[in-house]
């Protein structure tokens, strides 16, 4: 008996096909198009987060393996009623959680075309036009950052994979020995040390662990009052590690931290990196594309000097998931780290360009045609419009900052540099007590405020009118609003303030 519930039989010569007939295909495409259009037209009126418990949702979705076909229209209707209505809506103008892009209609169309074409963008011979489109889109991104044209780049699943690839190249280049071939044991007791801000992304120590460096080889550098890396502490730790016989090899700077949006001193870190012989990597996954905006592009000065940069078009280029990006200044170093293939994948071509393979410069072999939606976005919208949308997000963040400062119950917890605003609810009674409290008393009041604001955030998310995430800044729990939707307007921010204060006043007597 097999999984289909019957004894295997000899084939009767019936031709199996997954193609729809014309009527079913037209019906499925029309249904899908209608759902897509309805969603983009009406998502502003939806709840940001669904009002449903996990048990009920699992009951609505779970079913046995389907053995017989269901009409496509019914399947799409199931998607509409069960999946779409019970999703968290990142496209919503009041979704302020994490660093999650809103997506856009062109990206949705591009993903349909990408899946239709179904290219494996691993080498030129596998996908000639797709490879050329990706190389062109990468050239446009290098132009935005002022990065060298001779640098190499590629699209990845996200910033985490881009960072992993960048640190793998850094390890290979700075180890002084062929660790890709011989393993980390070839270094003996000498340890490679990596430096990041205490505000850096969690993908960095994770990459260090996967590369055999170990999380204990990652040094966290103090952040200043603006939550930027302290250069003096970086220099102190490098000197200390050298005196202990370790081998500093890499420093990771942030072009927009995930907690507050702080931009490290990229020029200063670059100078230290050059002087100390360190690989200089910039994590620009969140903030890097804000370099498109003329009013703040100077804050990214120094990013063009990085040995590698990670970026996320699925954040501030408003692309649907997934679309990360890595740029590497020296393409030979990327090739040295990742080249090597079996005979079955060997590229044989006598014409320059046609022998190019992404798998010789990065981790992935199978690669989706991620570049199509980025190419289409630049073509359909133009860089000026994309820059204007980013600039609007920056402006809305400062509007939210002003609204927070004007409200007697709310307190700003970090400078607003990009589009993240961190604040907390503070009852009037606690404000008065805090003013004259001793350090130990202030610490106890902060613990109470942390519990209170955690409760506020949880209820805000569950009620579904607005969605905030959180950060902990110098021991203080922050309500963290990240504005990354081109649809967000001032009225959405006023609703956020009203809801946070309403729930805060309700909870302040309970916590």
Average pLDDT over residues 416-429: 96
Environment class of 157 (CB within 10 Å of its CB; exposed 0-12, middle 13-18, buried 19+): middle
What is the rounded distance in angstroms from the CA atom of residue 413 to the CA atom of residue 263?
Answer: 16
pLDDT at 434: 82
Mean pLDDT over all residues of the chain? 92
Q: Compute CA distances 16 → 9, 160, 412, whole Å.
A: 15, 41, 63
Q: Which of 59-63, 164-168, 301-305, 453-457 has the lowest mean pLDDT?
A: 59-63
pLDDT per position as a tens digit, 240-270: 999 999 999 999 999 999 999 999 999 999 9
What is the rounded distance in angstroms from the CA atom of residue 58 to the CA atom of residue 252?
Answer: 41
pLDDT at 349: 61
pLDDT per position as a tens digit, 83-106: 999 999 999 999 999 998 889 999
Instruction: Please say if the pLDDT value at position 2 is more than 80.
Output: no
pLDDT at 33: 94
pLDDT at 327: 98
Confirm if 380 and 358 have CB atoms less than 8 A apart: no
Instruction: Please say if the pLDDT value at position 359 is more than 60.
Output: yes
**Measuring CA to CA, which residue among 89, 109, 95, 98 is closest to residue 42?**
89
Residue 291: pLDDT band by 50, 70, 90 thresholds?
very high
**Measuring CA to CA, which residue among 285, 498, 276, 508 is closest to residue 406?**
498
Q: What is the DSSP string of 198-258?
A: TTS-THHHHHHHHTTS-GGGEEEEPB-TTS-B-HHHHHHHHHHHHHTT-EEEEEEEEBS-T
- Please compute, for residue 29, the number of CA atoms within 13 A of its CA located in the half-sphere on the CB side: 11
pLDDT at 322: 92
Residue 345: pLDDT band by 50, 70, 90 thresholds?
low
Question: 3-state DSSP helix/strand/coil percent for the chain, to nearest 5?
Answer: 50, 15, 35
What is the rounded distance in angstroms from the CA atom of residue 33 to the CA atom of residue 29?
Answer: 6
CB atoms within 10 A of CB 182: 11
Instruction: Please say if the pLDDT value at position 77 is more than 80.
Output: yes
Four-point Cα dihedral 405, 411, 414, 417, nearest 10: -20
pLDDT at 442: 84
Instruction: Please say if the pLDDT value at position 509 is more than 90.
Output: no
Instruction: Please say if the pLDDT value at position 32 is more than 90.
Output: yes
Q: Which of 5-19, 148-162, 312-326 has the lowest mean pLDDT?
A: 5-19
Beta bridge partners of 478: 471
CB atoms within 10 A of CB 324: 25
Average pLDDT over residues 342-369: 81
Can you give the pTM of this predicted structure? 0.93
pLDDT at 314: 95
Q: What are phi and psi for residue 428, nearest 5 degrees?
A: -55, -40
What is the rounded distance in angstroms from the CA atom of residue 63 to the CA atom of residue 84?
Answer: 18
Q: Compute CA distances 12 → 2, 8, 452, whole Å.
A: 18, 12, 68
Counting residues of the chain whose pLDDT is more than 90, the rounded percentage is 81
- Please compute, for residue 388, the number of CA atoms within 13 A of its CA located in the half-sphere on the CB side: 6
Average pLDDT over residues 282-290: 97
Residue 62: pLDDT band by 50, 70, 90 thresholds?
very high
What is the rounded distance in angstroms from the CA atom of residue 501 to the CA atom of residue 404?
Answer: 10
Structure tokens at 144: 């935005």
Instruction: Please say if the pLDDT value at position 14 is more than 70.
Output: no
Instruction: Please say if the pLDDT value at position 169 is more than 80.
Output: yes
Which of the pair, 4 or 200, is modelled with greater confidence?
200
Segments of 312-446 assigned E as strands: 324-328, 410-412, 420-425
Four-point Cα dihedral 63, 67, 72, 74, nearest 10: -40
Structure tokens at 257: 């931290």
């Amino acid at each position: 008996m097999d999984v289909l519930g019957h004894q295997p039989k000899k084939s009767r010569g019936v031709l199996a096909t997954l193609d729809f007939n014309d009527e079913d295909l037209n019906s499925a495409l029309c249904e899908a198009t209608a759902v897509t259009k309805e969603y983009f037209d009406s998502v502003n009126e939806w709840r940001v987060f669904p009002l449903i418990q996990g048990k009920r949702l699992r009951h609505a979705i779970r079913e046995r393996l389907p053995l017989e076909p269901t009409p496509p229209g019914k399947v799409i209707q199931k998607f509409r009623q069960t999946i779409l209505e019970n999703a968290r809506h990142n496209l919503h103008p009041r979704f302020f959680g994490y660093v999650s892009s809103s997506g856009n209609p062109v990206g949705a169309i591009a993903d349909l075309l990408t899946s239709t074409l179904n290219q494996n963008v691993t080498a030129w011979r596998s996908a000639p036009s797709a490879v050329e489109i990706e190389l062109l889109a990468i050239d446009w991104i290098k132009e935005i950052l002022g990065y060298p044209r001779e640098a190499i780049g590629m699209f990845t699943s996200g910033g985490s994979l881009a960072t992993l690839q960048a640190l793998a190249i850094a390890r290979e280049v700075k180890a002084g020995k062929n660790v890709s071939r011989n393993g980390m044991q070839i270094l003996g007791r000498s340890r490679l040390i990596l430096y990041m801000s205490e505000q850096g992304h969690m993908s960095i120590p994770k990459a260090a662990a996967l590369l055999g460096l170990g999380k204990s080889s990652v040094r966290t550098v103090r952040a200043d009052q603006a939550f930027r890396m302290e250069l003096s502490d970086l220099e102190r730790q490098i000197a200390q590690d050298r005196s202990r016989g370790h081998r500093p090899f890499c420093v990771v700077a942030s072009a927009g931290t995930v907690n507050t949006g702080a931009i490290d001193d990229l020029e200063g870190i670059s100078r230290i990196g050059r002087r100390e012989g360190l690989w200089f990597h910039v994590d620009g996954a969140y903030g890097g594309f804000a370099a498109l905006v003329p009013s703040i592009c100077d804050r990214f000065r120094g990013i063009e000097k990085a040995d590698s940069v990670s970026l996320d078009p699925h954040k501030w280029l408003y692309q649907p998931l997934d679309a990360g990006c890595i740029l590497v200044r020296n393409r030979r170093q990327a090739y040295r780290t990742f080249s090597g293939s079996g005979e079955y994948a060997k590229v044989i071509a006598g014409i320059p360009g046609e022998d190019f393979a992404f798998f010789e410069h990065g981790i992935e072999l199978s690669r989706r045609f991620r570049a199509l939606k980025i190419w289409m976005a630049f073509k359909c919208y133009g860089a000026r419009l994309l820059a204007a949308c980013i600039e609007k997000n920056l402006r809305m963040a400062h509007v939210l900052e002003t609204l927070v400062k004007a409200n007697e119950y709310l307190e700003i917890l970090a400078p607003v540099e990009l589009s993240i605003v961190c604040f907390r609810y503070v009852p009037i009674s606690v404000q008065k007590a805090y003013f004259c409290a001793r350090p130990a008393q202030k610490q106890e009041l902060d613990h109470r405020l942390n519990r209170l604001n955690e409760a506020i955030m949880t209820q805000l998310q569950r009620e579904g009118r607005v969605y905030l995430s959180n950060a902990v800044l110098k021991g203080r729990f922050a309500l963290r609003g990240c504005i990354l939707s081109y649809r967000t307007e001032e009225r959405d921010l006023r609703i956020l303030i009203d809801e946070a204060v309403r729930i805060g006043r309700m909870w302040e007597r309970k916590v």
